[in-house]
Amino acid sequence: MPTIINEYQGSLRTRFIHLQSGNKLITDAPTDNNGKGESFSPTDLVAGALSACMLTIIGIKADPENIDLSGLRSEVTKVMAADPRRISEVQIDFFWENCTASDKQRIMLKKAALTCPVALSIHPDIKQDVKFHF
């Protein structure tokens, strides 16, 4: 049974429907590839999925340790290459200003992030440049 239905809407736009929740997400081709750029591009979703997976895995590891992740955020930069057009690099900077985790916990959380399922699924030719600022 599928988990997502994706429908082409015309004008280089698609609409995802997450079947379990009914949530919807729109994608647009970027302006540098004949699109409107009014929503996430498919390659934006790949870069964003990497960050979201890392944050989720950090949360999974933090919960049993009672680590408060308030204020934890990431900034994502996707770098595209040409010929063929593809993602060449994803840069992620994690910021956590009020980090109360111990040094040992920080190491655990960083390792968990770097080995999240999306990170391990992305082709090795795509550079993952991840920095932690906490």
Do 20 and 85 lie in one domain? The reply is no
Do 50 and 20 lie in one domain? The reply is no
Mean pLDDT of 103-107: 97
Total structural domains in the chain?
2
- pLDDT at position 24 is 98
Do 26 and 75 lie in one domain? The reply is no
User: What digits encode the pLDDT tens for the residues 14-68?
Assistant: 999 999 999 999 999 999 999 999 999 999 999 999 999 999 999 999 999 999 9
Q: What is the CATH number of the domain that holds 98?
A: 3.30.300.20
What angle do helix axes 42-62 and 103-114 make, rounded to 10 degrees?
140
Three-state DSSP state, 52: helix
Which tokens in the block code for residue 38?
């009014």
Rounded percentage of the chain residues whose pLDDT exceeds 70: 100
The residue whose two tokens read 């591009």 is 41
Name the residue range of residue 15's domain: 4-33
Distance CA 96, CA 86 (A): 31
Do 24 and 52 lie in one domain? The reply is no
Do 114 and 61 lie in one domain? The reply is yes
Confidence of residue 123 (pLDDT cuts 50, 70, 90): very high
Do 25 and 53 lie in one domain? The reply is no
Do 19 and 48 lie in one domain? The reply is no
Do 23 and 46 lie in one domain? The reply is no
- pLDDT at position 103 is 97
Confidence of residue 85 (pLDDT cuts 50, 70, 90): very high
Mean pLDDT of the chain: 97
Do 54 and 9 lie in one domain? The reply is no
Do 79 and 120 lie in one domain? The reply is yes
Do 23 and 51 lie in one domain? The reply is no
Distance CA 72, CA 110 (A): 13
Do 27 and 50 lie in one domain? The reply is no
Question: Would you say 90 and 50 are in contact if contact means Cβ atoms under 8 Å apart?
Answer: yes
- pLDDT at position 109 is 98
